[in-house]
Amino acid sequence: MPSVSAWVLAAVLLLTGCAQPVVPIERLGRKAAEGVRPHGRPLAAPPSGRALPPVVDHVATRDRVVFLTRDDADRDPRRTATPREPRLPVRRFTTGLRPLAGRPYATQRAALCARRTRLLRPPRGAYDSTTLRAAADCGVAAVVLWRATLAPAGLTYSRGPHHLRRGDIVRLAPGAPAARLLGVLRERNLTAARLEDYL
């Protein structure tokens, strides 16, 4: 029959050699503070503290104005302005970027910061939450979409009433008849204004 000292020795060996080490609660708290994430997945976009830019297709204003925009990619280099065309303020957007939505934060940030622009038109109007975070970190004041499109066949609307309202942002598609738009603006008692003066 084992002696009492043998039992004590066995218990000591069990406690010192076989037991799993206990992680102090302080170390667990420190690991949590270091931002340990499951499976090592990094954050999609590091928080910067900057407010996300608004996404606008309409500007809240009491002025009876609309804003005309055109993507540089939509211009037809063979087409030249004629003396009969009305001269209207049009905000041109250079959208020669690859689609941004779904791409990593670092890729989107590099593309947007290279533009150094206050107003961003994402390619094809497609964006995601990472685009907004990257835009904020690059100093973008607003992401500009459009509520109405003027095409050769006439005006179409992405949402809301099917007529122009004050504050609407209108995208001019290739071959859009500017003279026809001028008539619509007169009917609605509206005029075109510079988008940069309102955003």
Per-residue pLDDT, 185: 95
List, for residues 52-84, the tens digit of each pLDDT value.
Answer: 999 999 999 999 999 999 987 655 544 544 434
Question: The pTM is what?
Answer: 0.71
Kindly state the average pLDDT of the residues 27-31: 38
Task: With cut-offs at 50, 70 and 90, classify the pLDDT of residue 115.
Answer: confident
Lowest mean pLDDT among 44-58, 62-76, 86-100, 136-150: 44-58
Closest CA to 63 of 186, 161, 167, 144: 167
Per-residue pLDDT, 73: 63
Burial of 10: CB neighbours in 10 Å, binned 0-12, 13-18, 19+: exposed
Burial of 77: CB neighbours in 10 Å, binned 0-12, 13-18, 19+: exposed
- Whether 4 shows a pLDDT value over 80: the answer reads no
With residues binned 3-state (H G I as helix, E B as strand, rest as coil), the percentages for the chain, rounded to 5, are 30, 15, 50
Q: Which residue has the tokens 């150094």?
A: 116
Burial of 47: CB neighbours in 10 Å, binned 0-12, 13-18, 19+: exposed
Higher per-residue confidence, 49 vs 10: 49
Higher per-residue confidence, 77 vs 178: 178
Q: Which helix (H) or strand (E) holds 147?
A: none
- Whether 51 shows a pLDDT value over 80: the answer reads yes
Per-residue pLDDT, 168: 98
Domain spans of the chain?
55-74+87-193
Per-residue pLDDT, 46: 52
Q: Which helix (H) or strand (E) holds 93?
A: strand 90-93
CB proximity list for 108: less than 8 A, separation 6 or greater: 100, 130, 131, 134
CB proximity list for 125: less than 8 A, separation 6 or greater: 145, 146
Higher per-residue confidence, 13 vs 147: 147
CA dist., res. 4 & res. 73, Å (int) = 90
In the chain, what is the greatest distance between 2 CA atoms, to the nearest angstrom? 116
Length of the chain: 199
Burial of 159: CB neighbours in 10 Å, binned 0-12, 13-18, 19+: exposed
Task: With cut-offs at 50, 70 and 90, classify the pLDDT of residue 28.
Answer: very low
